[in-house]
Amino acid sequence: MKFDEAIALYERARKVNSKSAYLLYLLGKCYAETKDHEKAIETWEEALKIAGSPEEIHALQNLIAKSREQLASTSGGTEEENQRFIIHYAGDSQKDIGELTISVLENAYDQVTSDLMFHPDVKVHVIFYLTDDFYSVNQANSWVGALAQGIKILVPLRQGYDQNSAKGTFAHELTHVLINMRTAAHCPTWIHEGLAVYSEFKAMTGDPTTMPTYYENLFEKRVKGEKRMIPISAIDLSPSKKDSDENIALQYLHCYLAMRFLIDRWGSQGVDDLLTSLGKGSHPDNAIEDATGRPPEQFQSELFDWISGL
């Protein structure tokens, strides 16, 4: 569901009937989904004034408390702004982030926007979170590196992270944001993650075909060593999925390999065709065929052959 559209709809309904606590409850939820917590709180406080039952009041109070928490974790920090983005550092994470200067982020930004042939005409908001805040606020499993929502990029700062991994995470999340914009959010997870990890590795190592050590080792051990490959159709990276960190990393690795194969064979034109097709609302199978001239089964089998040769 597109929350922006729902908001427009509910706001119109609100003009007609401003005395429905349920309507305001839903509207507040939409604002919260778009991370506009100030608006969410304002709307729910309005609903509180007309709420009838103790259950309603309790639910609204809970929601307000949650949104206040979210606000707290992104406010009171520092902010930097330039032509392309607004960077928000929660708490004193800017001190933490040390060497990760705006020019490093700009670098990654130039890389990703030119690779995806898409230059957004709106500013991208980058929010660096402190790790604990991030996980409690987004209720994500620990393997979720960051979440891309609209033009807001949330990047968690882990203990002991270095400039390179922060740059990689930023490139990864920015890729998600741009894909969402290019395809009107019509992109399957494996393509999303494949391109995001591809950008991440490129930002980290300077070469998208060079995997960072952890992934290189994982590739040697689990893919080459065990001679087992995961078919695209079996990839499941939904945030609620419970699996070992290694198995999840292995799935990301396969997404990456699939997109690296596509770029290796069909170049940036292949990516462009793929995203264009998805943007027109094509089914992923058809989008793959538009980009590669191969039906999905053939794409899959050529992909496995290519991986075997690595």
Residues making contact with Zn ion (CB under 5 A):
193, 196
CA distances from 243 to 174, 239, 259 (A): 25, 10, 23
Q: How far apart are CA 268 and CA 202, in angstroms?
A: 14
CB of 92 to Zn ion, least distance (A): 27
Q: Which is nearer to Zn ion, 133 or 193 (CB)?
A: 193
Q: Which is nearer to Zn ion, 193 or 273 (CB)?
A: 193
Measured on CA atoms in the order 159, 165, 167, 172, is the torsion positive or negative? negative
Q: Could you give the 3-state DSSP secondary structure of residue 206?
A: coil
Residue type, 17: N
Q: Which is nearer to Zn ion, 196 or 232 (CB)?
A: 196
Chain-centre distance of CA 306, in angstroms?
A: 28
Task: Return the closest-CA partner of residue 175 out of 220, 215, 116, 127.
Answer: 116
Q: Which is nearer to Zn ion, 104 or 237 (CB)?
A: 237
CB of 14 to Zn ion, least distance (A): 35
CB of 110 to Zn ion, least distance (A): 20
Our CA angle for 261, 267, 270, nearest 5°, is 85
- The encoded tokens of residue 91 equal 């708490």
Q: Which is nearer to Zn ion, 60 or 258 (CB)?
A: 258
Residue nearest to Zn ion (CB): 196
Q: Which is nearer to Zn ion, 196 or 204 (CB)?
A: 196
Contact status, residue 192 vs residue 186, Cβ threshold 8 Å:
no
Q: Which is nearer to Zn ion, 189 or 276 (CB)?
A: 189
CB of 193 to Zn ion, least distance (A): 5
CB of 155 to Zn ion, least distance (A): 11
CB of 172 to Zn ion, least distance (A): 6
Residues sharing a CB contact under 8 Å with residue 200, sequence separation 6 or more, in sequence order: 168, 169, 171, 172, 175
Q: How far apart are CA 262 and CA 275, in angstroms?
A: 12
Residue type, 31: Y
H helices of 51-186, in order, are 54-74, 93-97, 102-115, 131-138, 163-183
Q: How far apart are CA 199 and CA 121, in angstroms?
A: 21
Q: Which is nearer to Zn ion, 115 or 289 (CB)?
A: 115
Pairing of strands 78-81, 152-157: unpaired
CB of 146 to Zn ion, least distance (A): 7
